[in-house]
Structure formats: C-alpha cells, structure tokens
Amino acid sequence: MAKNLLEMKHITKIFPGVKALDDVNFVVEQGEIHALVGENGAGKSTLMNVLSGIYPYGTYEGDIVYDGEVQKFTNIRDSEKKGIVIIHQELALIPEMTIAENMFLGVERGQKFNIDWDETYALASKYLKQVGLKDSPHTMIKDIGTGKQQLVEIAKALAKNAKLLILDEPTSSLNEDDSKALLDLLLSFKKQGLTSIIISHKISEISYCADTITILRDGATIESLTKGKDDITDDRIIQGMVGRKMTDRFPKRPADRRIGDVALEVRGWTTHHPVYTEKKVVDNVSFNVRKGEVVGIAGLMGAGRTELMMSVFGHSYGANTTGELYINGQKCVLNTPLEAIQHKLAYVTEDRKGNGLILSNPISVNTTLANLSDVSNKFGVIDIDKEVNVAKEYVKKLKTKCPGVMQNVGNLSGGNQQKVLLAKWMFANPDILILDEPTRGIDVGAKYEIYCIINDLVSEGKSVIMVSSELPEVLGMSDRIYIMNEGHMVGEVKASEATQESIMGTILHTKSY
C-alpha cells in the first residue's frame, strides 16, 4: 500500500464575506500525479496557497500533515525547505536576467556579496538537462518562448530539491505540442519518485497524466477518483465541478439566425516587429467578419494572431503597419485604440491581468474604463453612483460571482475576472468585438457562460472575431474559421466543414515563409 505524502485535514479558510474553503480534506500519495479540479472560485489555488505557506499557519483552520509530521508553515520559504515547491500560473521570471540568474534568485550560490557564478551556471546546466531544455543557462529569459519558460520554472523547482511539485494551470499558455511535452515530463518525474499536484481545467490533460483526481466545488471536497479503481469519465468530472450535467459544451445558436453584410474587412495587412522592425510579424493578411457572425482565428502559438488583432485595434502593436481597413464598407484609418473604440471596435486582450484590468481597483471602476463619458457629467467628472449602478447591471447580466461591485478585481477568480473584462467592453457598446483567448485559464462552467454571452452578442447583430488556441472551441463556436501560420493567412473554411485534423493539416502543410 502506497504511503500518504500529504494529508490536509478539515481545512477551512475565510476571507471577508467569503468562505473560500469549507472543511476540505485532501490526500496525496507518495509518487503519484494528483489532479485538483474545479470551477474558478472553487478553492483550488487557495488550498495550494495554504499548503505552501502563502496563507500562513493561524490564518486557517485544520491541519497539514506532510511526510508524517504536522506542519505549521509561516511563509513560502518554510514549505520550500520541506521540498514543497509551487509554480503559479503567472510565471515568476525576470525577462532581463539569464536563465541561471532566475533559477537561483534568492538562493544564490556562494556568499552574500560574492556569488559563485561557475557553480551557478554548472548547476543550472544540470537541472536544465533534467527538464530537457537545451538552451544555454546564459540565455536571457526574454529570448525564449513561454513553453521554455515553463521548463525553467520546473528546473528552478528541482534546484530547490522539490519532493512535492505543485503546478497551477501549467499549460494554459502552451500549444498542444508543448503541453504534451510538459505532461510527459511530469510522467518521467513520477518514475523517479517525484510527487506532483496539477491544477488544470483541461479534462483531456487530466485524463492523460493523473493517477487521482480530486474535485472541489464551492470550497468543499466533492469526491476523489482513482484511475483503475473508479469509473472516470469526462461527464463525471464535469458534473462534479459544476454540479449538473452538461449535455453540450457549446450552446447552439438559432438555425434561422441571419448573417448580414460585412462589418469589418482587412486587406493586405502587414505589420513589423516593434523592436526588430525589419521582421514582418504579419504579412499581407486579408480577412473579414459579417454582422451576426463569429469568425474563429486558429493557429499555433507564434502564428501572429494576437499581433494581427492588436495592430488592427488602433495600431496597439507593431511598427510600419500597412494595409487597408474597412468598417461597414467605409475605409478607416485607426491610429490609436481610442479611434478604434470611437469606430465601435473592441479588443478583449488575452492578458486580462496585465493589460485588460486594473486588479487593485474595484469591479465598478473596471467595468466603465472603456466608456467613461457615459458615467460622467458635462464637466467630465465621474458620477460614482451611476458607475456603481452600471457595474451592478453587468454583474447581474453576466452572472459574475462577487460579494459586491466594490470588490477589487484582483480578488476574483479567473472566470469572474474574464466576465468583468467582457463587461468593460460590452459597456462601450461596440459593433465588432475581437476576443483574444476569451476562455484561457477558466473552467468548463464559466466557459459555457461566456459562450452564451458570445451567442447573445451575435444574436443582436454584433460581429465577433475569436482567437483561440483550443481547436474544439474554435470549431464549436465559429461560423467560419481562418487559419494562420507564421504571419500568413493560410486557409479559410466553414466551421461545419472543418475538423481538428484538417486545421492542423493546413498549418503543418503550408510552406515555411
């Protein structure tokens, strides 16, 4: 019988007005991969923050038993000394430092004022080899992609002698190939005796690598399922997460829905890298979207999808941008995001925490950011009561879970943050919405609600352009799909005629430019 490495007993954690964890029990066996799943706000990250000492002993009720001993961690260093290392969804790396410098930041080799760089780089090479990363430890973080940065974080954890590795949404920013490589790495670590806890909303990934799955809902433990012992199906996991059966992942739009005239057309669009201006990031791209239509943009990471959409949205990305843009048949020149907004164009960024929301401000402030004139008097002074009422209206309309509209957005779950970001742009009353990875890092229940919002928008005659790395989402929500590869538009197909295989085939069989 396997030994229990970790037992969290009767854990209860209360924030002002919210019981985030309610008598949670969580057991992890030595050497297993244990998946922790649940909707946004279910308490997954909170439970792991309790375990890692981010929420110190005394701020919660219950006991943590690790490696046979009751633990009373007062900070993250205490847990790391015991071999518990957490890798958060937002990677904690400094772009302007080398891989090795990042790996040993705060635990430098050598003496306080005399770092042993030879040892630092030698150890970095050793751990990079363990995770299969061939880049030099002298490489700057800013010069490697997200997938490689994730591997640096894991190498950094191994350098801390990790015995229990916690990964919070480790594949949310990775493409399919990088995601599988990461999961395979965890499986190889398992063979070496390393125990892992993985938080993920991607059911297919959980089924692929997890030995045990624990489901949380509303801060409470629903059940734990063991591979080979319990009947584990996608439907059972989803029902446990959302508390109901979901017969269809994608809500249907009315069959008699009318798709109208072209709302936005882009012709011959080219934009260059903002720093390396000789490099074309988007090259001679043309596309359009009609009124009442959802157009999906598919492609691998680095295909130029986000760069294309940001450059269209008031040249908010790129240099030396050329091409023509038409809105409702009229040629437009949009040199700033403000001009784009004034032409009824909205861009919901993929980076909600970095570029989409002000996390330290309340829901009320964030909701009205893109349309302050509608909550201001003739002197430009914001009417706070009006702002609060607008926010309350959108909280109700989008079913945002929060104690109230004065709650800081940073304290909301990812799915509810995404709803606030959508509310911000819906209040601006756009005719054309660009949604860049609109469901990244959120659970299946919140995804369904956002899909319903998208359907409501197009039923009102709005146009939606949706960039997504999840091919089932692109296929399930789009009317038409454009396919990008290496800065070029390489295909266009009706969603009803497309498959995941045909889209990937188009990407893989287009020439390298």
Instruction: Summarize pLDDT for 94-118 with one digit per residue, the tens.
Output: 989 999 999 998 888 887 778 899 9
- For 266-296, what is each residue's pLDDT tens digit? 999 999 988 888 889 999 999 999 999 999 9
Q: Is residue 388 part of a domain?
A: yes
Q: Domain end: 384, 405, 429, which one? A: 429
| 161 and 292 together in one domain | no
**243 contacts 219 by C-beta, under 8 angstroms:** no
What pTM was computed for the model?
0.66
Element of type H or E holding 377: none
Under the banding of pLDDT at 50, 70 and 90, the label for residue 354 is confident
How many C-beta atoms lie closer than 10 Å to residue 511's C-beta? 8
| 140 and 80 together in one domain | yes
| 97 and 196 together in one domain | yes
| 317 and 413 together in one domain | no
Q: Which candidate, 456, 507, 68, 31, places its Cα nearest to that of 298?
A: 507
| 415 and 482 together in one domain | no
Distance of CA 381 to the CA centre of its chain: 35
Q: Is residue 350 part of a domain?
A: no
Length of the chain (residues): 513
Model confidence at 382: pLDDT above 80: yes
Q: Is the dihedral of CA 398, 404, 410, 411 positive or negative?
A: negative
Q: Cα torsion at 203, 208, 209, 214 (round to 10°)?
A: 30
Q: Is residue 373 part of a domain?
A: yes
| 330 and 191 together in one domain | no
Distance (Å, whole) CA 433 – CA 488: 22
| 18 and 94 together in one domain | yes
| 340 and 382 together in one domain | no
Residue with tokens 């201001």: 376
**198 contacts 34 by C-beta, under 8 angstroms:** yes
Q: Which candidate, 22, 26, 23, 31, places its Cα nearest to that of 2?
A: 31
Q: Domain end: 242, 267, 299, which one? A: 242
Domain that holds residue 387: 356-429
pLDDT at 170: 83
Number of domains in the chain: 3
Model confidence at 240: pLDDT above 90: no
Q: Is residue 484 part of a domain?
A: yes
Q: Which candidate, 335, 404, 305, 420, places its Cα nearest to that of 370?
A: 420
497: which 2 tokens? 């005629």
Q: Is residue 351 part of a domain?
A: no
SS3 (DSSP) at 184: helix
Distance (Å, whole) CA 175 – CA 449: 24
Q: What CATH number should be reported for the domain holding residue 31?
A: 3.40.50.300
- For 185-204, what is each residue's pLDDT tens digit? 899 989 999 999 999 877 88
Model confidence at 213: pLDDT above 80: yes
Residue with tokens 């509810």: 416
Q: Domain end: 242, 260, 293, which one? A: 242
Q: Which of 169-202 are b and which e, b meaning 16 or more Cβ less than 10 Å from the residue's Cβ?
A: bbbbbbbbebbebbbebbeebbeeebbbbbbbbb
Q: Is residue 349 part of a domain?
A: no
53: which 2 tokens? 């000492």
- For 174-187, what is each residue's pLDDT tens digit? 767 778 888 998 99
Q: Is residue 127 part of a domain?
A: yes
| 93 and 237 together in one domain | yes
Q: Is residue 260 part of a domain?
A: yes
Q: Cα torsion at 55, 61, 62, 66 (round to 10°)?
A: 20
| 296 and 389 together in one domain | no
pLDDT at 284: 96
| 83 and 200 together in one domain | yes
Model confidence at 169: pLDDT above 70: yes
Residues 130-138: what's their mean pLDDT? 88
Residues 6 or more apart whose CB falls under 8 angstroms from that of 6 comprise 26, 27, 28, 51, 64, 65, 66, 164, 195
Strands of the 84-87 sheet, one edge to the other? 84-87, 164-168, 195-199, 33-37, 212-217, 220-226
Q: Cα torsion at 300, 172, 151, 241 (round to 10°)?
A: -140
Q: What percent of the chain has pLDDT over 70?
A: 97
Strands of the 319-327 sheet, one edge to the other? 280-290, 262-272, 319-327, 330-332
**117 contacts 126 by C-beta, under 8 angstroms:** no
Q: Is 157 exposed, middle or buried (0-12, 13-18, 19+ CB in 10 A)?
A: buried
Model confidence at 511: pLDDT above 70: no
- Transcribe 111-165 into DSSP letters: ETTEE-HHHHHHHHHHHHHHTT--S-TTSBGGGS-HHHHHHHHHHHHHTTT-SEE
| 9 and 38 together in one domain | yes
